[in-house]
Amino acid sequence: MPTRLSIAVPDDFDLPRDACSYGYFLLAPNLWNPDDLSLSRPLDLDGGPAKVRIRQPSRPGGPLRVDTDRTLDPAERAEVRAQVTRMLRLDEDASHAARFHSLDPRFKESGRFRLFRSPTLFEDVIKTVTSCNVTWTSTILMNRRLCECFGRGGSFPTAPRLARTPPALLRGRCSVGYRDRRIVEIARLFTGRAITTGATPRRIPPVDAQTLESPATTDQAVLDSLLALPGIGPYAAANIMQLLGRYSRLPLDTESVRHGKTILGFKGSPAQVMKRVREHFVPMGDQAFRSYWFELWRFYESRHGPAWTWRRDSTGRLFTSAHLST
C-alpha cells in the first residue's frame, strides 16, 4: 500500500527550477521527468528502500506531494521528510534569497538561489569523488553502477555497505578506477571509524557529519576536516562546502577555465585564468559560489534549453568539454 505525504515549502519554492539547479539531479539514483515535472528516486530508509516520486501540483509555493511505493511507518515518514528537505534545501527561505540577490541582482527575476543536493552528506561526498579527474559521462556511469551494484533497491549505497566492500570489487563493477580504495576509506570514516592511510601513514579521525552540517562550525574547521579525507583536494573540498550551504569558496576546475576564457574574456595560462575567476567573484563574499554557479548554469541553459527540460539519458550526458567549448 503506497503512502502519500504532503510537505510544506517556502512561498517561492518552485520544484522544476529548484530541483534542476545543480548537476547532481542528473546522476543516479535521481531521475527527473520533464514530462510530468517529477523527481523520482529510491531512498534508503531504516526499514528498507522505498521509491519516492515528488511533485508540486501548485507552483510556486504549493506543498510537495510525495508518493512512495510502499507503506511507511511514522519514523520512516519522518526520514523521508528530512531527506527531501535536505535534497531540495527547503530550509533555505526568503532571507537566503534576499541575501544572495542583494549581492547579485541578475538572478532576482528568475528567483534562482537554491542548489540541488543529495539526501545525505555521504552521497554528496562520494558523488564529488566520482566527479574528480573524469569526464561527465564517466561520472554518470560510476553513479549508476554504484546504485545498481551496491545500493538497496537501486538506492545510493550507504556508508556501511561501501565500508565493507573490497576495493577491487568496487573497481571491477563500478569503473571507479584508482578511486576504489579512497571511496572505501571515506565510507569507513563515515561509519565512525578512524583509519590510517597514505604513502606516509597518517591517521584520519572519523567523520562527524553532524559537526560538518552544523552552522556553528566555522568554514575553516569544515575545510580542514574535508581536506583530511582521502581523495579530497581543494576542488572537491570547495564543492562539498557549497553542498553544505557554505558558498564563499569556488571549486575551480577546467570548466572554470573554459568559463573564464569564453564568457568572462580572461586570457593567460589555466592557472592565471583560474586566479582571475577567483578574484572576479571576491566581491560576492559569502555568496560567491551561487553567483559563479548560476552564471555557469545560465550558459548551459543557453546551449541546451531550460534545465527542467533536460533528460538524464540524453541532454544530461552532454556536459563535456567537447560539447561546451566554443
Residue ranges in contact with DNA by CB under 7 A: 132-135, 137-138, 141, 171, 175-178, 182, 197-200, 229-237, 253-255, 258, 321-322
Smallest separation, CB 20 to DNA (Å): 22
Supply the minimum distance, in Å, between the C-beta of residue 120 and DNA: 20
Positive or negative: CA dihedral 264, 268, 269, 275: negative
Q: How far apart are CB 296 and DNA at their closest, in Å?
A: 13
Pick the closer one to DNA by CB: 198 or 305: 198
Rounded Cα distance between 74 and 72, Å, is: 7
Residue 5 backbone zone (phi > 0: left; psi -120 to 50: alpha; other: beta)? beta
Beta strands in 152-270 (DSSP E): 195-197, 202-204
Cα–Cα distances (Å) from 302 to 15, 77, 258, 294, 316, in that order, read: 20, 39, 15, 12, 14
Distance of closest approach, residue 138 Cβ to DNA, in angstroms: 4
Alpha carbons 68 and 3: distance in angstroms, whole number: 5
2 DSSP 8-state letter: -
**Hey, is 68 helix, strand or coil?**
strand
Measured from the CB atom, the residue of 124 and 253 that comes closer to DNA is: 253
Helix (H) / strand (E) element for 91: namely: none
Residue 167 Cβ vs DNA, minimum distance, rounded to whole Å: 9
Is 212 or 232 the residue whose CB approaches DNA more closely? 232
Minimum CB distance to DNA, residue 72 (Å): 36
- In angstroms, rounded to a whole number, what is the distance separating the alpha carbons of residues 290 and 97? 11
Indicate the residue among 56 and 239 with the shorter CB distance to DNA. 239
Q: Which is nearer to DNA, 5 or 132 (by Cβ)?
A: 132
Nearer to DNA, 90 or 174 (CB): 174
Q: Which three cell numbers stand for residue 30?
A: 535521481
Kindly state the smallest distance separating residue 226's Cβ from DNA, in Å. 9
Strand order in 64-68's β-sheet? Answer: 4-7, 64-68, 48-55, 38-45, 31-33
Let me know: does 180 contact 171? Beta carbons within 8 Å: yes
C-alpha cell at 58: 501548485
Give the single-character DSSP code of 154.
G
* Nearest distance, CB of residue 147 and DNA, angstroms: 15
**Phi/psi at 137 (5° precision):** -65, -35
Residue with cell string 577491487:
168
Shortest separation between residue 246's beta carbon and DNA, angstroms: 16
Q: For residues 31 and 252, which CB has a smaller minimum distance to DNA in the complex?
A: 252
37 vs 277 by CB, closer to DNA: 277
> Measuring CA to CA, which residue among 121, 120, 114 is closest to residue 41?
120
Helix (H) or strand (E) holding 142: helix 136-150
Of residues 132 and 209, the one with the C-beta less far from DNA: 132
